[in-house]
Chains A and B, each alone.
Chain A
Amino acid sequence: MDHVLSSATALSIAHVLAGALVLVSFMMLYQDRLSSVINVLALHAVVLGCAVGWQAYIQHAPALYITAGLALGFKALVIPIALHRIVERFGIHREVEAVGGISLTMLGGIGLVALSMVVMLRTAAHADALAREDVALALSVILLGMLMMVTRRNAVSQIAGFMSLENGLILAAAGAQGMPLVVEISVAFSVLIAFIVIGVFLFRIRERFDTVDSTALDAFRGEAS
């Protein structure tokens, strides 16, 4: 490595950025208004962009700069703005829709972070320290994203959980010596398409049931939630 920073400093900065991503995931967990969930999602993408950009810098991998740019462009700007517009059109930006207490969810989240740390220490004890810590934190972000999806009723915040889960995947991939550009672009496209499909579904659900609460779907199937 011939860059100016010592490798210890580079590792700490990468660590701080990845840890910040986990922290933002926790922030998302305790939001109880939809518009603030979307704001935190945008922040999440910004932090991801910084983390991936830093990885690009220390690994000398120019392809990763494109990943960072995609994260900042699509996930920090386009998707949050679109989600805001959807929420405002539906008039549900003040809706409270968490399942179970926020404190219980936070405790569960802490447990998940601990679990992913232990798993990585046990399974990847001999791997490169930077990559290992990165993957452990990325796994935490993925698990927290799933927790978000599980503990929310509203389809919009389930999308937010899914997006943050996907951010965790990208963080993991960037830490592991980068990933090929083709894969990255196809992932970005698939996220975009998922967003479009889910958006269309949201409008269809809304048209039919006058709500985007996904329990309405279950009621339509003739079952109690």
Chain B
Amino acid sequence: MTPIILICAAASLILGGVGGVIARRPAGRMIVYGGSLAIAVVALLAALAQLALGIAPDPLVVLPIGLPHPGASGLGMRFGMDDLAAAFLIIANIGGAAASLFALGYTRHEAEPWRVLPVYPVFLAAMNLVVIAADAYGFLLCWEVMSLASWALVMAHHTEAATRRAGVVYLLMASAGTLALLLCFGLLAGNAGNYAFTAMRAVPRARWMGSAVMMLALLGAGSKAGLVPLHVWLPRAHPAAPSHVSALMSGVMTKVAVYAFIRIAFDLAGPPAWWWGLVVLLAGGMTAVLGVLYALMEDDIKTILAYSTIENIGLIFAGLGLALAFKADGMMAAAALALTAALFHALNHMLFKSTLFFGAGAIQHATGTRDLAQLGGLINRMRVSAVPMLIAALAIAALPPLNGFASEWLLLQAILLSPALPQFGLKLAVPAIGALVALSAAFAAACFVRFYGIAYLGRARGDAAAAAHETDRWSLSAMILLAALCVAAGLLPGFAIDLLAPVTHALLGARVSTQAGLSWLTIVPVALRQNAYDPLLIALFIAISAIMGAFVLRRFGARATRRAPAWGCGYQEFGPPARTLITQYSPSGFAQPIRRVFAGVVLRARDEATLPLPGEAHPARLTLRWSDPAWSLLYAPLIGAIGWLAGQTNRLQFLTIRRYLAFVFMALVALLGWIALWG
């Protein structure tokens, strides 16, 4: 199946070239996005076939370009789709297909399509190639192409100053992350210097070197995935891109980073030490809670979604850390459960986050604003797209019977197995991380009640929202498709677990017991404890109780719907703004309890209310301030130090010729002295 993926990637690259030529023609859009859709579907079917039918992975394909490998077959970039790669190809290509479908309609009003069209297929191809790369050179090359292509897509709307700033921050963080991965692969290759993954697996390495590899992988992959405190670029860059690209970056590119971490930490780095799991767990737990807290502070709908991506990445990394801890202690069945939970959540997050970004794009297009405080009542004017948005919001809030609940439930089941771990550090830390996961799930629910409630329910808070219109059919079909997949994955999690079983078997030698064939499509991941989750029964219960509740309300409550002017808290006579804007919950008002209790310390959130003195005519004002602790604690000192150092070095620009000579001389003498003393 590997050649199919390679051919698809090559076709995407060619499509990028074609896109560059025909970007200014009206048909260019249809050709590029339609072609991308077709390619993604083919690649998806190939990956799905390998995983679902249990086809053994092909031998590696060696391309006649690349780096010379000592002792191997000379030049050649190696590519191969094993089961782990296939799982992530499924995620990447569902996301890619949906984004292309959405873009067919959504980009109709793109102002400068030639900034997006040539790069978009290259971005898709690079993400596919990273996943199937089987040597460090191919991996890093495709990784960099992926970073650069996504940067170019972020810069599509480069006329806004915020976008340009986001681009700079993104480029810096991406290059820092790649540097970490470069060093990581250098350590993995060892003295032999063979950069093929198969050779890296065979290299014996010291404990400290394996640990250094893991930490570098966490830095490199974590900066791309958005782990706190390496996340600072993500909430700037993801919202700045066009919405279908935002969906790809949040839904798919962060998963490629997760793939990189799994590939290195589980496959290449060798047997883990027990504290690796602890480090990853702590990073994941912190990321989950902080990410969703940021999301609750934000008013920009796409930034909210970007911060929520950080939260979900935290959950995935918590699962991965747990799997590492179990693997270090030889509890392979438990490790397989935790890894399955992480992979399943990665799939689920791609499904609902892409839907949400599509919906946010539709809102932005319909109203011209991304400010949550300007929206409201969209459910009346965007009747169709409100339904998949509701499903995705319920799923990301982890409500049963949808897919977000299924994967988080699996993660909590794995956490419940932690008392069997021998190390006391883990025994204490894992339940604490479990509490953080539960807390972040609750915050996520609050966050998406706020998102959906403010944007879609109530009455329009501004003229733009009042004049909103439904989006086009292409966009709707993409959103409905993904929402249906959310429902399907939620109702039938057993199939997803069985689909992922070969991956855990290949990495850990163990798998979650087969779920197919259990009565009522129940899932029982830990056969011993009989903890079962039956989404179909729950869905049935919810449906019956909802219908009964509606019936009782209709039967015994008010007989018919009555329409009347909304009560404006006594401000009705001040005109329409008073009835809609002032008297409804504002997004910052909705988040205030959580802001007061949690964000006051962590994010230094402050509410400042200036009330008019008696007799003054101006209105009372509420200003909110909050800051990202990562900036004030890490990046601001770092930037300051670099600036100071640059200022000092700048003096070297203005020396006399003799002093330059003296510098060369001193350097030579210092090096000779080094040789004389320690050589």
Is B675 in contact with chain A by the CB < 8 A criterion? yes
User: Residue B669 contacts which of A143, A214, A225 (CB distance < 8 angstroms)?
Assistant: A143
| Chain A nearest Cβ from B285, distance in angstroms | 53
> Could you tell me the dominant secondary structure of chain B's interface residues?
helix
| Chain A nearest Cβ from B651, distance in angstroms | 11
* Residue contact A225 to B661, C-beta cutoff 8 Å: no
CB contact under 8 A between A146 and B661, given known A119-B679, A123-B679: yes
* Residue contact A112 to B669, C-beta cutoff 8 Å: yes
* Residue contact A150 to B665, C-beta cutoff 8 Å: yes
User: Residue A214 contacts which of B658, B662, B679 (CB distance < 8 angstroms)?
Assistant: B658
> Could you tell me the dominant secondary structure of chain A's interface residues?
helix
Q: How far is the CA of A191 from the CA of B231 in the complex (A)?
A: 57
Q: How far is the CA of A152 from the CA of B665 in the complex (A)?
A: 14
| Chain A nearest Cβ from B184, distance in angstroms | 33
* Residue contact A223 to B658, C-beta cutoff 8 Å: no
Interface string of B651-666 (1 = CB under 8 A from A): 0001011100110110
Contacts of B638 in A (CB 8 A): none
Is B676 in contact with chain A by the CB < 8 A criterion? yes
Contacts of A146 in B (CB 8 A): 661, 664-665, 668
Contacts of A147 in B (CB 8 A): 665
| Chain B nearest Cβ from A145, distance in angstroms | 10
Is A176 in contact with chain B by the CB < 8 A criterion? no
User: Residue B658 contacts which of A115, A116, A123, A150 (CB distance < 8 angstroms)?
Assistant: A150
Contact size range, A: 20 to 34
Q: How far is the CA of A147 from the CA of B665 in the complex (A)?
A: 7
Contacts of A149 in B (CB 8 A): 658, 661, 665
In the complex, chain A residues 185-225 whose Cβ is within 8 Å of any chain B Cβ: 214-215, 217-218, 221, 223, 225
Is B673 in contact with chain A by the CB < 8 A criterion? yes
In the complex, chain A residues 90-133 whose Cβ is within 8 Å of any chain B Cβ: 99, 112, 115-116, 118-119, 122-123
Q: How many residues of B contact A (CB 8 A)?
A: 15
Chain B residue nearest to A223 (CB atoms) is B654
Most chain B beta-carbon neighbours within 10 Å: one of A143, A146, A225: A146
| Chain A nearest Cβ from B662, distance in angstroms | 5
Contacts of A112 in B (CB 8 A): 669
CB contact under 8 A between A115 and B672, given known A146-B665, A147-B665, A150-B662: yes
Is A15 in contact with chain B by the CB < 8 A criterion? no
Contacts of B661 in A (CB 8 A): 146, 149-150
Which residues does A use to contact B, with CB under 8 Å? 99, 112, 115-116, 118-119, 122-123, 143, 146-147, 149-150, 152-153, 158, 214-215, 217-218, 221, 223, 225
Given contacts A119-B679, A122-B675, A217-B656, 18 further A-B contacts (CB under 8 A): A115-B669, A115-B672, A115-B676, A116-B672, A118-B676, A119-B672, A119-B675, A119-B676, A122-B679, A143-B669, A150-B661, A150-B662, A150-B665, A152-B658, A158-B658, A214-B657, A221-B654, A223-B656
Q: What are 11 A-B interface contacts by the 8 Å CB criterion? A: A115-B676, A118-B676, A123-B679, A143-B669, A146-B664, A149-B661, A150-B665, A214-B658, A217-B657, A223-B654, A223-B656
